[in-house]
């Protein structure tokens, strides 16, 4: 719960770029540098990696569930349920925050400075793609704490965050908030899941 409190405080502080403070300039200046990296490789990579977000998240759930069914492994089935609940909880938090802050996309606010390479009209803060990616990466890492799971999971999540800025659809603060939110949601649902499992084991004794 302490981690969740720090996450909420951080998210509130990250909203300062919406004001007329100097942090706004730093946010847009960093975004300009990332958005201007228009090499054919990075632009193509950004478009491709952004499109994997939901596919990878759902595939992880389906893969764990399918393996659990094939092996008749109840623990894997419970893991798949946790991954699904985590994804749903994260989506709820993300879109609740989007509708609370109502931050326009950077390309809408700064059309002369930022080029958006994706046609989006939804709200900007926090980054939903980044939140989903970090939520999935953290959930998988908590359930399967092996380097060959953790390293590629976070490399993918970090790439998703970068891609959203390179495509000009999110500020750096949107991406940072999404990463914190996704990570925090995964930890929260993990702890709740552990508590529920303990209650079930107690009731069977």
Higher pLDDT, 196 or 2: 196
Biggest CA-to-CA distance, the chain: 66
Within 10 angstroms of residue 94's Cβ, the number of other Cβ atoms is: 24
Query: What sections of the chain are H helices per DSSP?
Result: 2-14, 22-35, 40-50, 53-71, 74-101, 106-109, 128-143, 147-166, 172-204
What digits encode the pLDDT tens for the residues 59-86?
A: 999 999 999 999 999 889 999 999 999 9
Higher pLDDT, 81 or 24: 81
Residue tagged 């914190």 (tokens): 180
**What integer best gives the mean pLDDT of the chain?**
87
- Residue 30 reports pLDDT greater than 70: yes
Tell me how far apart the alpha carbons of residues 153 and 114 are, in angstroms, rounded to a whole number.
Answer: 29
Q: State in words which class domain 47-204 has.
A: mainly alpha
- Residue 6 reports pLDDT greater than 70: no
> Are 171 and 28 within 8 A, CB to CB?
yes
Q: Peptide bond preceding 58: is omega within 30 degrees of 0, i.e. cis?
A: no
Record the pTM: 0.85
Domain ranges across the chain: 47-204
Residue tagged 């990075």 (tokens): 42
Among the listed ranges 31-35, 80-84, 120-124, 153-157, which one has the minimum average pLDDT value?
120-124
> Are 140 and 189 within 8 A, CB to CB?
no
What digits encode the pLDDT tens for the residues 171-200?
A: 999 999 999 999 999 999 999 888 877 777
Residue tagged 């702890």 (tokens): 191
pLDDT classification of 53: cutoffs 50, 70, 90 = very high
Tell me how far apart the alpha carbons of residues 142 and 7 are, in angstroms, rounded to a whole number.
Answer: 18
Token code pair at residue 180:
């914190």
Say which DSSP state 72 is in: T
Token code pair at residue 96:
């609740």
On the 0-12 / 13-18 / 19+ scale of CB atoms within 10 A, 52 is middle
Distances (CA, A) of 63 to 70, 74, 90, 143: 11, 14, 20, 14
- Residue 164 reports pLDDT greater than 60: yes
Tell me how far apart the alpha carbons of residues 184 and 5 are, in angstroms, rounded to a whole number.
Answer: 10
**Overall average pLDDT of the 157-167 stretch:** 96
Q: What are phi and psi of 102, to 5 degrees?
A: 50, 45
């Amino acid at each position: 719960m302490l981690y969740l409190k720090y996450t909420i405080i951080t998210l509130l502080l990250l909203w300062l770029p919406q004001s007329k403070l100097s942090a706004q300039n730093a946010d847009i200046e960093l975004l300009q540098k990332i958005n201007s990296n228009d090499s054919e490789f990075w632009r193509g990579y950004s478009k491709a990696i952004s499109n994997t977000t939901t596919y990878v998240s759902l595939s992880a759930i389906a893969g764990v569930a399918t393996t659990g069914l094939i092996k008749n492994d109840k623990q894997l089935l419970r893991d798949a349920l946790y991954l699904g609940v985590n994804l749903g909880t994260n989506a709820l938090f993300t879109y609740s925050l989007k509708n609370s802050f109502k931050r326009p996309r950077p390309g809408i606010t700064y059309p002369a400075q930022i080029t958006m390479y994706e046609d989006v009209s939804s709200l900007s803060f926090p980054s939903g793609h980044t939140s989903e990616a970090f939520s999935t990466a953290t959930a998988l890492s908590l359930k399967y704490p092996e380097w060959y799971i953790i390293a590629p999971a976070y490399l993918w999540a970090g790439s998703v965050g970068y891609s959203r800025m390179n495509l000009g659809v999110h500020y750096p603060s949107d991406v940072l908030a999404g990463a914190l939110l996704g990570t925090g949601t995964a930890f929260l649902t993990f702890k709740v899941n552990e508590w529920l499992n303990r209650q079930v084991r107690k009731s069977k004794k």
